[in-house]
Amino acid sequence: MTKPRNNTLLKALLRQPTKYTPVWLMRQAGRYLPEYNKTRARAGDFLSLCKNPDFATEVTMQPLARFPLDAAILFSDILTIPDAMGLGLYFAEGEGPKFERPLREEWEIRSLAMPDPAVHLNYVMDAVSQIRKTLDNQVPLIGFSGSPFTLACYMIEGCGGTDFRQIKTMLYQRPDLLHHILDINAKSVTAYLNAQIESGAQAVMIFDTWGGVLSHTAYQKFSLHYMTEILAGLKREHDGERVPSIIFTKGGGLWLEGIANSGCDAVGLDWTINISEARRRIGDKVALQGNLDPAILFSTPEVITSEAGKILEDYGNGNGHVFNLGHGISQFTPPEGAQSLVDAVHTLSKKYH
Ligand code: CP3
């Protein structure tokens, strides 16, 4: 299969030389774009958007039509796996994700089964192949999944925005039950990401949004351990090309060395850590992705440019940096803010390469 014409992202993830620093934005397709809101209205709701490959392709392409981004990311959600497990995902308007049948009773947990990606998640694989066709090798396509622990948070709590009381009670009182869920989640994520790779995803990212709420010891046992297992089971190559992997634990700055040793090619950083310190600690081992505070995009083009410039300078000369936000772009971001950022990264990064 031919390489993308703009292959900068894949090269940077593998720490190979590039002419500038590639940039993409977590949640780059989403509600801050008026065209996304229009497509979502046509689809009816968010889940119908995810489950229809035509709509998923359309919204994946929308940010690329506006900004010269260096990657596309599959339009989907991390909660497709627990949905395929039968937990009954729905999105209450303005309230975020919810499950009709969260995992509470031991018998529910014992009857949990791994979904077959080719059967229960075939709409995701269809979206991946259709997006690859539509992209026509313009830029690489990133596939993704949630981490076993982050998925378990939603599966057990039943919704977002909680104090993690249910999952942490299980963690300390019935660790065997939580390990059982995490084991099934890890196997499910491995099969899901491998199916995305076979359908055409050229890099994969694991979003561990909630790993950072764990204690030092619990993080290693209940989150990092399972991500390490997934990485060991991932296809490293497809169609003769390396498929790089990215691990992003929000709040994971304290555990960078461990994350970098998990077998991933790149570590995603949130905005709380200085990227120059992160590079000093692990930057010879893996690539780094990040890490602008998404709130900076509410500022003027001058502020956005200067803040982006500071991160590029902090990373310094050489390969292995993928510019991104430290977390997903806010729905209230003016699209012009994203434009200023992409332009600034492309212009200012040349001198470091
Ligand atoms: O990056 C991209 O453009 C790809 C699409 C993507 C979405 N969700 C689309 C989405 C990705 C990579 C995700 C990952 C995701 N989903 C995560 C991990 C990353 C993170 O942000 O921490 C998590 C925790 C979820 C679960 C989820 N999905 C939540 C908590 C919400 C509601 C939050 C919100 O912003 O309202 C969603 C819904 C969701 N996923 C939206 C989008 C564009 C908004 C839905 C809408 O249109 O109403």
Tens digit of each residue's pLDDT (9 = 90 or more) over 137-184 = 999 999 999 999 999 999 999 999 899 999 999 999 999 999 999 999
Residue 291, strand partner residues: 324
299 located within any domain = yes
- Which three-class secondary structure state does DSSP give residue 207? strand
CA distance 108 to 48: 27
If one residue of 33, 60, 78, 327 were mutated to test the ligand 1 pocket, choosing by the most ligand atoms within 8 A of its CB, it would be 78
pLDDT tens column, 198-221: 999 999 999 999 999 999 999 999
Does 282 reside within a domain?
yes
Q: Please give the average per-residue pLDDT across 123-148, as a whole number.
A: 98
pLDDT band at 297; cut points 50, 70, 90: very high
Question: Which residues neighbour 12 within 8 Å (Cβ) at sequence distance 6 or greater?
Answer: 18, 21, 22, 287, 319, 320, 321, 322
What would you report as the CA-atom Rg of the chain, rounded to the nearest whole angstrom?
19
260 domain residue, yes or no: yes
CA 349 to ligand 1 centroid distance, Å: 29
For 39-58, how does the pLDDT look when each residue is reduced to its tens digit (9 = 90+)? 999 999 999 999 999 999 99
pLDDT, the chain, mean:
97
pLDDT tens by residue, 227-251: 999 999 999 999 999 999 999 999 9
Percent of the chain with pLDDT over 70: 100
What tokens were used for 299? 């500022």
Nearest CA residue ID for atom 25, ligand 1: 78
Cβ atoms of 323 and 288 closer than 8 Å:
no
Q: How far is the CA of 26 from the centre of ligand 1 (A)?
A: 9
Which residues are near ligand 1 (CB < 6 Å)?
26-31, 40, 46, 73, 75, 77-79, 96-97, 144, 160, 207, 209, 328
Q: Kindly give the distance from the C-alpha atom of residue 168 to the centroid of ligand 1, in angstroms, as a whole number.
A: 23
Beta-bridge mates of residue 324:
291
CA of 147 to the centre of ligand 1 (A): 14
Residues carrying an active site annotation: 27, 31, 40, 77, 154
Torsion of the alpha carbons at 67, 73, 79 and 80, rounded to the nearest 10: 130
**pLDDT score of 2 more than 80:** no
Distance 271 CA to ligand 1 centre (A): 19
202 in a structural domain: yes
Structure tokens at 223: 């989150």
pLDDT band at residue 65 using 50, 70 and 90 as cut-offs: very high
Residue 301, domain extent? 8-352
- Note the pTM of the prediction, 2 decimals: 0.97
| pLDDT value at 93 more than 90 | no
Identify the pLDDT of residue 28.
98
Residue 67 scores a pLDDT above 60: yes
pLDDT band of residue 283 (cuts 50, 70, 90) is confident
Nearest to 238 by CA among 192, 186, 199, 287: 199
Query: Rounded distance, CA 333 to CA 299, Å?
Result: 9
Residue 92 has pLDDT above 90, yes or no: no
21 is a domain residue: yes
The answer as to whether 2 is a domain residue is: no
Residue of 77, 93, 149, 159 with the most ligand 1 atoms within 8 Å of its CB, for mutation: 77
Question: So what's the pLDDT on residue 292?
Answer: 98
Q: What is the pLDDT of residue 284?
A: 84
CATH code at position 192:
3.20.20.210
Query: Residue 1: inside a domain, yes or no?
Result: no
Instruction: Say what the pLDDT of residue 306 is.
Output: 98
Residue 1 has pLDDT above 60, yes or no: no
Task: Tally the C-alpha atoms within 13 A of residue 124's C-alpha that lie toward its C-beta.
Answer: 32
**Domains in the chain, number:** 1
**Residue 14 covered by a domain:** yes
Ligand 1 site-directed mutation target among 23, 26, 27, most atoms within 8 Å of CB: 27
